[in-house]
Amino acid sequence: MTFARKLTGAAMAMGLSLFAALPAWAQEEAPKIDPGDTAWMMTSTVLVLAMILPGLALFYGGLVRGKNMLSTMTQIGAVAALAMLVWVMWGYTMAFGEGGNAFVGGFGKLFMAGVTPDSVSGTIPEYVFASFQMTFAAITVALVLGGTVERIKFSAVMVFALVWLTLVYFPIAHMVWSSGGLFFEMGALDFAGGTVVHINAGVSALVAALILGKRKGYPAEPMPPHSLTLTMVGTGLLWVGWFGFNAGSALAANGTASLAMINTFVATASAGLFWMITERVMGHKGSALGFCSGIIAGLVAVTPAAGNSGPFGAIVLGGVASVVCFFFVSKVKPALGYDDSLDAFGIHGVGGIIGAIGTGIVYAPSLGGPGATDYAMGGQLVTQVSAVLATIVMSTIGTAIAIYIAKAVTGLRVDKEVEQEGLDLGEHGERAYN
Amino acid sequence: MKLIMAIIKPFKLDEVREALSSLGIAGMTVSEVKGFGRQKGQTEIYRGAEYTTNMVPKIKVEVVCDDALAPRVVESIQQAANSGAIGDGKIFVLDVGQAVRIRTGETGETAL
């Protein structure tokens, strides 16, 4: 008994001395979860989901012909779902796993190994962080489909998505957002994923469209959007969801998130109007599709700049991106003759490049940006351009590999008869409108 | 009996219907159709891709009446559907061999 007491006493003394040593260690190693940040990030995460389904599905769906409506929406939904599964299996660790090198994360978190409800990332639970980033992978692969719809097989889309996420998306996400990543260490400014999401998706869509070839009858046969009403609805959902995407990229409910929020309003508003103004200047009518296209161009351009620009810089950036994207999709694309069905490159690629480079300009405090007073614009622009070029190279090579694998496995393209009858019937056995 | 088939501008449908009702016409069939004549089509433009649509949307009205009423039906459609512009449409008159009311089996003019 006395011996046991002595033993307990000794153990308690040891325990107390351990506790005494604890506070300094606890402050560094065990950050606390902030309920406000967590609530905002959980909201942001589902807002990004709403950008995909139904936002992007309706936006893209309205732009295709009625016979390909379900095919377009189903491809978007299915690749997003596939991305979520792949993300928890090997995507998260490839992007954000500890260790690793400049190009890919360590593989310690395969199948979310070691992540528990108590794991913390910044001020939010790691599961929330992983879910938020998961939705980015899901929307990026869905965006690529804008270049390939109306002729690619559903099975080819699924194989492509699997390979493309692994070869292209996860490494680029690591390079931009993970400490130790190539662009992260270079100091490239990319607030919410202008390179990772938009340049990446846009360039990949272009490469995929080039390898896949044109739709039968393009450009001689009229292929007008079958429902700009649904495209407008999708545009609205994308804009709303984009607040999760941009303001959520602050990873906290703080002042930077508020800056990203106001920029996501004004850059987008500016771009929507500037597209219509450009249409008028070019002798056309200001159009609904022009407004929607401008909205998307503005959202894309402000993505890297959301927390890296003052509101007026964002307005200018949105306007410039809108005008350049207008000329790209209505003049340059027809002149070059490739068939990027829904202008995923013309808007996400081109708008993304303008946004990424423009972020280096609007970041300057003299232009109202949040940069330090000794901000060196020239050097930053070199960094921004290098990150853009490196992304283009990686997307191009990775997409080519992924498309050729999809071609070997599935044949890639639907039969001529299926393309004429529509992919809804040919690939899914359904009609969108009965 | 005559079948009077009129191709008219869509916004003129209500006026035509009222004019025919006042003549005692108790039924008609209306369809949405597309076609072209002298009226020019529309130019549509989507992100720079320009399409000219030759087919203009119209309404086709079909009325069957007895021979005596036919000239007045044609005249009132012609007046009600007239806007004075190109594209007001056309009226065709055809002979009808037989008419049957499905519910009762009545035939000829009593079936109208």
Give the pLDDT score at A30.
Answer: 64
Q: Are B6 and B60 in contact (CB under 8 A)?
A: yes
- The H or E element spanning position B32 is strand B29-35
Rounded to whole angstroms, the Cα distance separating A89 from A303 reads: 27
| Pick from A219, A284, A293: CB nearest B45 | A284
pLDDT tier at A228, thresholds 50, 70, 90: very high
pLDDT at A31: 77
Tens-place pLDDT, residues A234-280: 999 999 999 999 999 999 999 999 999 999 999 999 999 999 999 99
Q: Write out pLDDT tens, residues A368-389.
A: 999 999 999 999 999 999 999 9
User: Which residue from A minimizes the CA distance to B48?
Assistant: A330
Cis peptide before A304 (omega within 30 of 0): no
Give residue-wise pLDDT tens across range A155-208.
Answer: 999 999 999 999 999 999 999 999 899 999 999 999 999 999 999 999 999 999
Residue A223 confidence (pLDDT) above 80: yes
Under 8 Å between Cβ of A43 and A132: no
Residue A110, pLDDT above cutoff 90: yes
Contact A224 B51 (CB under 8 A): yes
CB count, 10 Å around CB of A46? 13
User: For the segment A286-335, what is each residue's pLDDT rounded down to a tens digit?
Assistant: 999 999 999 999 999 999 999 999 999 999 999 999 999 999 999 999 99
The C-alpha atoms of residue A371 and residue A165 are separated, in whole angstroms, by 33
Please provide the size of chain B in residues: 112
Q: Residue B2's Cα: distance from chain center in Å? A: 14
* Section A391-413 average pLDDT: 97
Q: What is the mean pLDDT of residues A416-430?
A: 97
Q: Which residues pair with A120 in a beta bridge?
A: A125
The CA distance from A269 to A319, in Å, is 9
**What rounded mean pLDDT belongs to chain B?**
94
Partners of A329 on chain B (C-beta within 8 Å) are 47-48
Q: Has domain B2-111 been given CATH number 3.30.70.120?
A: yes
pLDDT of residue A20: 44
Q: Find all residues with CB under 8 Å of B67, minimum gap 6, and list them.
A: B1, B2
Confidence at residue A26, expressed as pLDDT on a 0 to 100 scale: 46
Check A225 against B46: CB less than 8 A apart: yes
Q: Does B18 touch chain A (CB under 8 A)?
A: no
Minimal CA–CA distance to B54: which of B66, B38, B68, B70? B38
Query: pTM (2 decimals)?
Result: 0.88
Q: CB–CB of A198/A349 below 8 Å?
A: yes
Q: Given this model, what pLDDT does residue B54 score? A: 83
Contacts of A284 in chain B (CB under 8 A): 45
- Residues linked to residue B2 through DSSP beta bridges, in sequence order: B65, B95
Per the CB < 8 Å rule, is B44 touching A284? no
Would you place residue A29 in the very low, low, confident or very high pLDDT band (cuts 50, 70, 90)? low
The CATH T-level fold of domain A36-428 is Ammonium transporter fold (1.10.3430)
pLDDT at A22 over 60: no
DSSP state of A186: H
Q: Which carries the bigger pLDDT value, residue A203 or residue A6?
A: A203
**Alpha-carbon separation of residue A282 from A17, A219, A276, A335 (angstroms):** 78, 21, 10, 17
Is residue A3 scored above 90 in pLDDT? Answer: no
B86/A contact by beta carbon, under 8 A? no
Please report the pLDDT score of residue A28 as a whole number. Answer: 54
- Note the pLDDT tens digit of each residue in A35-90: 999 999 999 999 999 999 999 999 999 999 999 999 999 999 999 999 999 999 99
Spatial CA neighbour of A353 closest among A313, A316, A386: A386
- Name the H helices within A218-367: 228-247, 255-281, 288-302, 311-327, 333-336, 350-362
Give pLDDT tens digits for B45-94.
999 888 888 889 999 999 999 999 999 999 999 999 999 999 999 999 99
Q: Do A330 and B48 touch (CB under 8 A)?
A: yes
Q: What percent of chain B has pLDDT over 90?
A: 83
**End-to-end alpha carbon distance in chain A:** 85
Q: How many CB pairs under 8 A join A and B?
A: 27
Beta bridge partners of A96: none
**Total residue count of chain A as it appears in this document:** 434
Partner A contacted by B45 (CB < 8 A): yes
Domain ranges of chain A: 36-428
Q: Tokens for B80? A: 């009600």
Rg, Å, chain A Cα set:
24
Phi, psi of B46 (to 5 degrees): -125, 110
Residue A279 phi, psi dihedral angles, 5° rounding: -60, -45
Q: How far apart are CA A78 and CA A158, in angstroms?
A: 8
Residue A290's alpha-carbon distances to A61, A239, A252, A278, A286, in angstroms, are 16, 15, 34, 9, 7
CB A82 within 8 A of CB A76: no
A315: exposed, middle or buried (Cβ count in 10 Å: 0-12, 13-18, 19+): buried
Q: Can you tell me the ipTM of this complex?
A: 0.81
Least confident segment among A29-33, A93-97, A122-126: A29-33
Q: In this structure, what token pair is assigned to residue A174?
A: 């690591």
Cβ atoms A303, A356 nearer than 8 A: no
Cβ pair A334:B45 closer than 8 A: no
